[in-house]
Structure 1
Amino acid sequence: MATSDLPHALVIMGVSGSGKSTIGEALGRRLGWRFEDGDSFHPPANVAKMSAGHPLTDEDRRPWLQAIADEIARCRAAGEHVIIACSALKKAYRDILVAGHSDVRMVYLRGSRELIADRMEHRQGHFMPPGLLASQFATLEAPAAGEHPIAVSIDAPVAAIVDDILQQLNIGQRRA
């Protein structure tokens, strides 16, 4: 795959606790691309709401998703590459982020509720409480084939997950 054929943006998606930031950072290091955590785009009211154990509504998510979409558009216009971790649980959310551009790809981190719950119980310093995991799975609309997702199982070491993503992008071990 030629460098010009690479996506400008990869959105690492999945429920909270699936490893979006960990995988996004590792993938960014391998590709030499900038990584952004989508959580940093949340307005303070969203963080406060989630910290209090309340799930966000679609209305709460709209400005957050638009801020991420604006960053993706900026990167595309500048010819930059970016990896952004963002739950993107519903197709409608992904449609905002992709905005019809084939050079914006979703990387779906798949994992069982049990595996993710165990990971959430052991992580520290994150505002999303484990009690909201059920609402995340209830909201999740797994990407359909027509969305051309890169789907990977999270039941593997980080390096193996990154290798799987690169293989599905037809990048292999070469640097972009």
Structure 2
Amino acid sequence: MSGRLLSYCRFKTPDDKEGKPHGGSRKFVYQEGEHINNTQSTEQKFHTFIAMAGIKALVGLSFSGAIGLTFLLLGCALEQVYWPLFVLIFYILSPIPTFISRRLSDDTDSSSNACRELAYFLTTGIVVSSFGLPIVLARTSTIQWGACGLVMTGNAVIFLTILGFFVVFGGGDDFSWEQW
């Protein structure tokens, strides 16, 4: 048989036995000749591709954020001490300096921007503090070292997710929230 596979059907034959989970014959339906013409223009296909790439990136970032929060909650549930949840404050605070600097900075000059450099400095301090909090809690025996490791793994995954968000969605002016 030649042509494009249109569908796959399963139908029951008279010699099938009861209780047989995958009984029946298979039938393939083919279309002979040319493929069905696609009415989308190349530009429409490109915009659909770009929109799907953005959605796939958003789904991937959501998935990695969920994994990071799972590590954080596992670290808290290990000993049923919930002090490590204070790193959630650092997750919320970490992108704020970058958002502010991108809003206030002027990209007309090619030299280093003081506002953006200050934002990077503050963001680095917030990220280092979020890794330091579980270590301090473990050193004071408030949490176990295993919980500290799980919280720090969650920190790494969450901050890589935040970085991924800025890489994927913060690159240029051509991005528009209207595509969602």
TM over 0.5: no
Structure 1 or 2, whichever has the larger Rg, is 2
TM-score by length of 1: 0.30
The structure with the largest helix share of the pair is 2
